[in-house]
Amino acid sequence: MELGMPERRTHNHVRHGTLDLLAAVNAAPGEVAATTKKQHRGKDFVAFLTDIDGLVEPALDVHVILDSLSAHKPRT
């Protein structure tokens, strides 16, 4: 691995039990809604956002902070 370059993994890399955590935080009352998945796929992300939308009162705004992972940009 070169200095300043991210470590890369092959297509058949085994994660050995690592899970992805999707979480939403309502900071004022300290509430957390979370789920874990074996993979980070677009359809799981959309389902999580749909679940969160159902938990939030319609009059409230939801602010989403994301990175640029391809699963955050599904084609659906």
DSSP line for 15-35: -TT--EEEEEEETTTTEEEEE
Write out the E strands in the chain: 20-26, 31-37
What's the token pair of residue 18? Answer: 């690592």
Question: Which amino acid is it at 58?
Answer: P
CB burial readout 52-64, b (16+ within 10 A) else e: beeeeeeeeeeee
List the domain boundaries for the chain.
20-72
pLDDT tens sequence across 35-57: 988 887 888 888 999 999 998 88
What integer is the mean pLDDT of 21-33?
Answer: 88
Mean pLDDT, range 9-14, rounded to an integer? 80
Q: Are 24 and 52 in contact, with CB atoms under 8 Å apart?
A: yes
